[in-house]
A and B are shown apart, each in its own frame.
Chain A
Amino acid sequence: MKINAVWFEGDCVKCAMCIEEASGAFDFVVEAGPQVKPDIDITSFTEEIKRAAGLCPTQCIKYNQ
């Protein structure tokens, strides 16, 4: 099932692994940490986002599908 929304929630430790796993969907902003890239088709990054969410040490990545 495709993801139609993704966001960050909770205490991100800024390990940046999510950016490594889903560089098409996420960007790393100094100070703020990882952000969802604007104006992208989230559904096309479903697998990468799920993998990043599975690896996130603080389970900060939330999504709807």
Chain B
Amino acid sequence: MLIVYTISDSNNGLTLQGKAIVKTEYGTGIISNFLKEEYQSMNSAMANAYMKTFPMEAEKKVSAGKRNPVLDIPEFNNTWNIYRETSLDIMKRYEYMAQCVDFTDKDTEAIRESKDILAPHLEAILDHIYWEKLINDPWLSKWFRDETGKISKEYVTIRRARQRRFILKILECKWDEEFWNFVRWVGAVHVPIFGFEDLYIPVRLNLALWGYIHQYLFNFLAEQLKDDPEKLRRITSAWTKLFWLIIDVYHIDYFAPWM
């Protein structure tokens, strides 16, 4: 393994450079003159651990002059542009995801249609989700307990009110930037990113709760629309698509961009 050193000593204005061929588990050689001590210092348990973690670092480096031709292929160039734009612009993200899941104006109309069925029962639905499901779940209920372990009724009331506002916003059917930024914000405050730096709600719990609400709403709608299967199909199909769109935006701040 050939190592090229550049060591700067800013205090003395001194720069030392040298080459060393060394013996490690990755290769054999000699180490020369003044850099030996520095190398031995580097060749520590930590350096070994680093090399085991990143074995590619021990491989011979290929010149960076070779460019990656992937963007010369129009299809891949287009894909890169979609990735880049949907990562930067929340509306483009929504538009892309909407066309992927086939969420159209007909679905928006179906969700608007469902308002007449859901709104009169919204309080009962929320009561069930919060006062029956959440506070009785052994893990989900953790965030609704006070320091003694008892359910904090006041806090449940607050969370229920916020969920109510969220559902009312959905029922307005305005899929604009303000709405999607609101969805993103609701997700973001569940991770230690902004505002509540000491809070972290695991993804699986979000999915558990969204999944529960999803099936609960569907069963509720099935009961309400048992005499109109076409309307039921229309509304549940629209809500399914919307749930996936929301789950995507909700989790933006849970993951690094490359995830």
Contacts and interface: CB of A to CB of B under 8 A. Distances in A.
B162 A17 contact: yes
B199 interface: no
Interface residues of A, number: 8
Query: What interface size band does chain B fall in?
Result: under 10
Contact of A58 (B157, B162, B164, B165): B157
Contacts of B105: none
A39 to B, nearest CB: 29
A40 interface: no
A58 B161 CA distance: 9
Nearest to B168: A55
A13 B152 CA distance: 11
A11 to B, nearest CB: 9
Nearest to B153: A13
Interface string B158-183: 10111011001000000000000000
Binding site of A, secondary structure by majority: helix, strand, loop or mixed?
Answer: loop
A10 to B, nearest CB: 12
A55 B161 CA distance: 7
Contact of B165 (A13, A14, A17): A17
Nearest to A21: B165
B227 interface: no
Nearest to A14: B158
Interface string A36-65: 000000000000000000011110000000
A17 B158 CA distance: 9
Interface string B36-64: 00000000000000000000000000000
B72 interface: no
Nearest to B154: A13
B18 to A, nearest CB: 61
A55 B164 contact: yes
A14 B154 CA distance: 9
A61 B230 CA distance: 42
Interface string A15-48: 1010000000000000000000000000000000
A13 B158 contact: yes
Contacts of A56: 161
B186 to A, nearest CB: 12
A17 B159 CA distance: 11
A55 B165 contact: yes
Contacts of B154: 13
Contacts of A57: 157-158, 160-161, 164
Give the 9 A-B residue pairs with the shortest CB-CB distance, closest first.
Answer: A57-B161, A15-B158, A13-B154, A57-B157, A55-B165, A13-B157, A13-B158, A15-B161, A17-B161
17 contacts: A13-B157, A14-B158, A15-B157, A15-B158, A15-B161, A17-B161, A17-B162, A17-B165, A55-B161, A55-B164, A55-B165, A55-B168, A57-B157, A57-B158, A57-B160, A57-B164, A58-B157
